[in-house]
Structure 1
């Protein structure tokens, strides 16, 4: 039974070029009691000028349209859509593959969810449901290295290494970290090398994503 009494279903729209994928999403949403399909368009630009743009609570954007297209949409939505209604839709980026560097850029630009197209239906619904409720969400298989820090013991790090790690998690670059701590950029690189060795993370994007998760900005679902 539809939840017409008490609360309305959240509307999910999508920017996707594959009709079969759109049909699959529509069918999936029909099986839920709190989400419903809105509309499909070939690009974010097309969606923004559509009559449906003022109705969506969640907007899925296919990363296959290009990382630049996704980032442009995330930057334009507050300006373009905010004039139509007081809030903008929560954006979920999905794709066959998403690198940690791309994921971090999407999240920093305002994306609320990131999930693989190959995820099972339960995972996809969990993502859409979470962002429709105002939470941020990401699939942990996309960020395997970042999620691996869950069980790392930070006492293995020296106090200076912990300082460097925390600044990386905040998005500081090496030169900025050096200025903040009063050390040389080369020394920062040495500290990062030790941090990567001790945590098992290969890059700073993993550390930054972990920082967002540790602060409760985003949540992970195992997959």
Structure 2
């Protein structure tokens, strides 16, 4: 029996995932958590084979930073006898996908995936095999085929904040980087995208499907 933990801040999503998974004869949901920190704590106690992890959790107490699903995945994968992590989320940007995979997730599905695809992905994850939704697989293949414009996860984070209108100082504060480091990332982004300005970088990234 494959034992699964659900980590998502929306109860209705957890209910839907549970309903789908418990319809499979070889899968059982052993618990639910609503924060990334709780997912790590649960993983430390053991008793599960796969964690279905959202990428972004709801806002915490004002002034505090909320841990992401990618950060939780990285921490969980460092545990002894760590469970496999399968990301199930609404977000499909390159930055989100690459960040999750590089953090140690064995798979990445979107929340609108068909029930059969979700069940199959959980089984694959339990075996240690990769499980990617078609949309995610296509994005990864596109990235491999266009190495010149392949931005690193950090560069993609910077570019996302640029697209949101953040200044270099704001980007530095959000990502805990110095302004000099932010400028360095922007130089690399411009070079990879073949542009010379913030506006052009955002436009080029959107045209290529990076944002």
* Structure 1 residue 147 displacement after superposition: 4.5
- The equivalent residue for 2:47 is 55
Cα separation, partners in 2 of 1:146 and 1:69, compared to 1, 3 Å: closer
CA separation in 1, counterparts of 2:100 and 2:4? 19
Cα 1:140/1:51, change in 2 over 3 Å: closer
Question: In 1, Cα distance between the equivalents of 2:15 and 2:94?
Answer: 29
Q: SS of the residue aligned with 1:12? A: strand
SS of residue matched to 2:56 = helix
Provide Cα deviations, 1:99-135, integer angstroms capped at 9, x if missing partner.
1221012101101111011111011111111111110
TM-score, reference length from structure 1? 0.58
Q: 1:62 to 1:78 in 2, by over 3 A?
A: closer
Aligned to 2:8: 16
Query: What does 1:126-205 align with in structure 2 at a 5 Å threshold?
Result: 126-147=120-141, 165=147, 202=208
> Deviation string for 1:126-161 (max 9, x for gaps)?
1111111110111022343444699x9xxxxxxxxx
TM-score of the aligned structures, taking structure 2 as reference length:
0.61
**Cα–Cα, structure 1 residues 169 and 137, in superposed 2: closer, same or farther, change >3 Å?**
farther
Work out which of the two has the higher radius of gyration on C-alpha atoms and give 1 or 2: 1
In structure 2, relative to structure 1, the CA distance for the partners of 1:52 and 1:10 (3 Å cut) is: farther
- State the match for 1:179 in structure 2: none
Distance 2:14 2:77 in 1: 25
Going from structure 1 to structure 2, the CA distance change for 1:59 and 1:189 (only over 3 Å counts) comes to: closer
Moved more, 20-29 or 113-122: 20-29
Shift in Å at residue 47 of structure 1?
3.0
Q: State the distance in 1 between where 2:12 and 2:18 align.
A: 10
- The root-mean-square deviation of aligned C-alpha atoms, in Å, is 3.7
Q: Deviations over 1:30-73 (max 9, x none)?
A: 22122111100111312333488401100011123179511221
Q: Quick one: structure 1 residues 39 and 146, their matched pair in 2 at CA, closer, same or farther if it must change by over 3 Å?
A: same
Aligned residue for 2:76? 77
Q: What is the DSSP-based 3-state SS (H/G/I as helix, E as strand, rest coil) of the residue aligned with 2:4?
A: strand
